Chain A
């Protein structure tokens, strides 16, 4: 007699830790491949099983492992190892990477109440704003950890409505920080030309850069209404024109949601390439932390989806592997490409740099056995990094070294000096998927290089800050008003959710905090022997 055996419908590839998206208890998690897609699955004792799509291209997920660069140890850490990741933020000495990018949220208030906001900001009476002293201390902590940080991002809330925002920029520029990235919805830039001029003056200081990180989600009225609650198209246009006029460079930052604005990614790139102020575009699948529309964790957008949309919508310009994984964080978190753009004779020529230089020869840290040219590798590492900012000194230098490498010295033709000015032709596209309480994987978190700097002097990995409960903790302490843990507005757990005063979803009744598990944080992994006697 033959016994019928059953085969699993998935390939088990990782065992890791995550959290319960409802009660935020640390739970074990497994990562599996099913039908060429990568999923993370976990189970909470109180709230049951959860599963989410983390990467929609299993082959790329596995192959990108070799681009995982050994991390750089921070000069200083702020906590001790006690309960393990993600409970010890941060940074704790177990963290695998230094901070490529530090974020200071200067306020919780905003002049918009967007239906999508990972910070849960808006016109709120119970928020906080940091003081000049707090900002100085936060910058000092960052400098202590990094020495000479490449980039600090000022964010919020809406940082341009903080009365001290220019002072904050001055504080950053008075320290050895090269680039200030101002993360804004652009409303003030559209109307307050004096403010734009004041930013531009700071951008002209020798060795210092101020870059505008402009929220820019698309061109359809529906996109604006669904994501921002208002039609902001005219104001975005005016903000961009003001930046161009005063000489500020801009990164267009698009939050992309499935079936909402995923058809607009190609047009956003084309618009950016055509606009004189724009030097880069960042696409972020909507982060399902904070406030957002209801979504299905199993069909959420991931980086390979955004790349596919770009390839489909700009077939003459891109193929999927023009977008190369970033080695400084976990390579599946972020992909970047650089384009050389030429606009002459009324024609736009676009050449992706990864087709000109074999990045694999330089950024494969595992299987390459011939040591690549260290100078070129270092240059490429600054370009394929979370700190890359068009116009910033390190990115400019990286592009120059890369351009020099592109010169054909071997064939006897020396390309003219024009090739050394490729920085002027270069355009950057970044695709960054942030983790949410469904997709959180401590493997990625432990190597995260984008850190929130907190007013009490911690550096907390961005995705831990937004997903694990640190944002709520900081806001409670800063404002003196209790903030309940935010739960993703996910399909499948709607019966557990109520809406908070900030428009976010929380578990149970808005004030009770009843969702906190009776087992306590970490109990599923810690504090008991492997075998009970």
Chain B
């Protein structure tokens, strides 16, 4: 059977962006598009040594919630990038409504080809999106390129064990749910290290994943209760979605899938990017 890895890279990314922009996903995920929600975003922010005025790049910024929180609570300027035009428009509206459009800006862009000059940002954040990028090495190299020397990368993402996933979770539907191309913690460390970013912190937040599954199932239950026709119109079949959420829950309970917060730092003095995948434990 064909897995997402067989499909051309750009097709996947566009598909993911469209997926996250779709009514069905918006219905099921609500305003929180990543496990852990705002509390985990805040935890990530605290790990990034942000100062008032720090410039942050939010890669896969979605509807802009993280960008607005970072700007409002940490007094930073934030530039958000997303592949989906609908999300960009929505994020811009949200920034304007919050009166933050001077410090929070959004742009449509591809994470593997950032339209950003070298050394522009104090921090790059990327929440539950890195796992969906087909060329992770290229994306990581781009993160490293746009960071200032000494700048921080903050990731929260799905992690898997080295044994990999049950077959059914490697399909395109699962890809949109951030799962299919997730790597192990060691795998991510190797990718970041290759890009010249030194991993500083690795935290397990597996609970956030099961909570998100609970949340998706709850929203599905609410919609099935109040708006079954809309659910159908959005192309969301409760039985099929429950089938996937159950699979993910089982995998999460068994420890096959986890959720991890990682920070990595660009060296203060310029060094050549490392081309070996040797990783030392932080």
Contact A422 B226 (CB under 8 A): yes
Determine if A232 is an interface residue (Cβ-Cβ < 8 Å).
no
Q: Which of B188-227 touch A at CB < 8 Å?
A: 214-215, 217-219, 221-227
Determine if A198 is an interface residue (Cβ-Cβ < 8 Å).
no
In the complex, chain B residues whose CB is within 8 Å of the CB of A342: 221, 224-225
Q: Which residue of B lies closest to A422 (CB)?
A: B226
CA distance A412 to B73 in the complex (A): 29
The verdict on A415 contacting B230 (CB below 8 Å), with A351-B218, A358-B38, A410-B31 known, is yes
Contact A355 B214 (CB under 8 A): yes
In the complex, chain A residues whose CB is within 8 Å of the CB of B226: 415-416, 418-419, 422
Other than A369-B73, A415-B223, give 14 A-B pairs with Cβ distance below 8 A.
Answer: A351-B222, A351-B225, A355-B214, A356-B219, A361-B38, A370-B72, A408-B27, A411-B23, A411-B27, A412-B23, A413-B26, A413-B230, A413-B233, A413-B234
Determine if B77 is an interface residue (Cβ-Cβ < 8 Å).
no
The verdict on A356 contacting B23 (CB below 8 Å), with A370-B72, A410-B90, A418-B226 known, is no
In the complex, chain B residues whose CB is within 8 Å of the CB of A419: 222, 226-227
- Count chain B residues whose beta carbon lies closer than 8 angstroms to a beta carbon of A: 29
- Which residue, of B69, B218, B233, has the highest number of chain A Cβ atoms within 10 A? B218
Contact B225 A369 (CB under 8 A): no
CA distance A356 to B37 in the complex (A): 12
Determine if B282 is an interface residue (Cβ-Cβ < 8 Å).
no
Determine if A406 is an interface residue (Cβ-Cβ < 8 Å).
yes
Bin the interface of chain A by size.
20 to 34
In the complex, chain A residues whose CB is within 8 Å of the CB of B224: 342, 349
In the complex, chain A residues whose CB is within 8 Å of the CB of B27: 408, 411, 413
Question: Quick one: which of A356, A410, A411 contacts B218, CB cutoff 8 A?
Answer: A356
Determine if A266 is an interface residue (Cβ-Cβ < 8 Å).
no
In order of increasing CB-CB distance, the 10 nearest A-B pairs are A411-B26, A355-B218, A351-B221, A342-B225, A418-B226, A419-B226, A351-B218, A415-B227, A369-B73, A355-B215
Contact B26 A360 (CB under 8 A): no
In the complex, chain A residues whose CB is within 8 Å of the CB of B73: 369-370
Determine if A319 is an interface residue (Cβ-Cβ < 8 Å).
yes
The verdict on A410 contacting B72 (CB below 8 Å), with A319-B214, A355-B214 known, is no
CA distance A340 to B221 in the complex (A): 9
Determine if B115 is an interface residue (Cβ-Cβ < 8 Å).
no
Give the dominant DSSP class at B's interface. Answer: helix
CA distance A419 to B219 in the complex (A): 12
Interface string of A329-350 (1 = CB under 8 A from B): 0000000000010100000011
Determine if A34 is an interface residue (Cβ-Cβ < 8 Å).
no
Determine if A352 is an interface residue (Cβ-Cβ < 8 Å).
yes
Contact A358 B227 (CB under 8 A): no
Tell me how far the C-beta of B217 lies from the nearest C-beta in chain A, rounded to whole angstroms.
8
Interface string of B223-240 (1 = CB under 8 A from A): 111110010011000000
In the complex, chain B residues whose CB is within 8 Å of the CB of A235: none
A-B residue pairs in contact (CB < 8 Å), sample of 17? A319-B214, A340-B221, A350-B221, A351-B221, A351-B222, A351-B225, A352-B218, A355-B218, A356-B215, A356-B219, A360-B38, A408-B26, A410-B31, A410-B90, A413-B227, A413-B234, A415-B223
Determine if B66 is an interface residue (Cβ-Cβ < 8 Å).
no
Contact B214 A418 (CB under 8 A): no
Tell me how far the C-beta of A399 lies from the nearest C-beta in chain B, rounded to whole angstroms.
13
CA distance A350 to B214 in the complex (A): 12
The verdict on A418 contacting B227 (CB below 8 Å), with A358-B32, A370-B73, A413-B23 known, is yes
Contact B30 A408 (CB under 8 A): yes
Q: Which of B26-71 touch A at CB < 8 Å?
A: 26-27, 30-32, 37-39, 63, 69
CA distance A411 to B25 in the complex (A): 9
CA distance A422 to B214 in the complex (A): 20
CA distance A351 to B224 in the complex (A): 11
Contact B26 A340 (CB under 8 A): no
In the complex, chain B residues whose CB is within 8 Å of the CB of A369: 72-73
Tell me how far the C-beta of A373 lies from the nearest C-beta in chain B, rounded to whole angstroms.
12
Tell me how far the C-beta of B77 lies from the nearest C-beta in chain A, rounded to whole angstroms.
17
Interface string of A356-384 (1 = CB under 8 A from B): 10101100000001100000000000000
CA distance A356 to B215 in the complex (A): 6
Contact A356 B222 (CB under 8 A): yes
In the complex, chain A residues whose CB is within 8 Å of the CB of B72: 369-370
- Which residue, of A358, A369, A411, A422, has the highest number of chain B Cβ atoms within 10 A? A411
